Amino acid sequence: MTKEELMQIIDIESGEEFTYFENLAAVLESDEEITADALFQVLSDVDMHTFAELVESYFYDIMEHMPEDVDVYNMLEAEKRNLVALAESAGRDEEGAFNKLADEIERFQEHFSRRENCEIIDNEKATSKNASLRDAVYDYRIARMGKENKDYNISSASDYEISEYIVSLGDLS
């Protein structure tokens, strides 16, 4: 994937325009394989303070409206903290921080949106289907609004390993 193809997915013309919740959602929820190289090229022009705030908002939204699973919730919380810390490091121009951030987003996007690691069980139709964590979360939201009788097994999605957890000294105080 090229930088231009990624910017088309995000619907921006430059990294400076990466300022909305929808921009981050477009990256993390894409069905397309998004490469770390393309992410690096776009992220290097993004305001990292804004990006960190978008990560906080995005993960808050996902975690507040998902099927109950403590392990998946904890995995998402750890990934949120990791991405925020990496964005803060990149914002301070720490060596290699943009590369680490791009690599981590690539890995998480694949796990969250492209790997079918969950099961959606429709109790009314007595059927089940495999789905990504992204699809299970959104199906759960729709099912709750329609009061549909569904169960969600998302426990397999908790197998995501956080590659690195960075805590800045400012976070410790």
Phi, psi of 170 (to 5 degrees): -65, -30
Average pLDDT over residues 3-23: 95
Digit-coded pLDDT (tens) for 84-115:
999 999 999 999 999 999 999 999 999 999 99
pLDDT at 172 over 70: no
Provide the percentage of residues in the chain whose pLDDT is more than 90: 92
The number of domains in the chain is 1
pLDDT band at 13 (very low <50, low <70, confident <90, very high): very high
pLDDT band at 162 (very low <50, low <70, confident <90, very high): confident
- Cα–Cα distances (Å) from 153 to 64, 84, 110, 130, 156, in that order, read 17, 28, 19, 9, 8
Average pLDDT over residues 117-144: 96
pLDDT of 144 reads 93
pLDDT of 173 reads 44
pLDDT at 164 over 80: no
Residue 51: Cβ-neighbour burial (10 angstroms; 0-12, 13-18, 19+): buried
Question: Which domain covers residue 15, as residue numbers?
Answer: 3-172
- Cα–Cα distances (Å) from 130 to 106, 119, 136, 157, in that order, read 22, 5, 9, 12
Average pLDDT over residues 41-58: 97
Q: What is the mean pLDDT of the chain?
A: 93
CA distance 57 to 51: 10
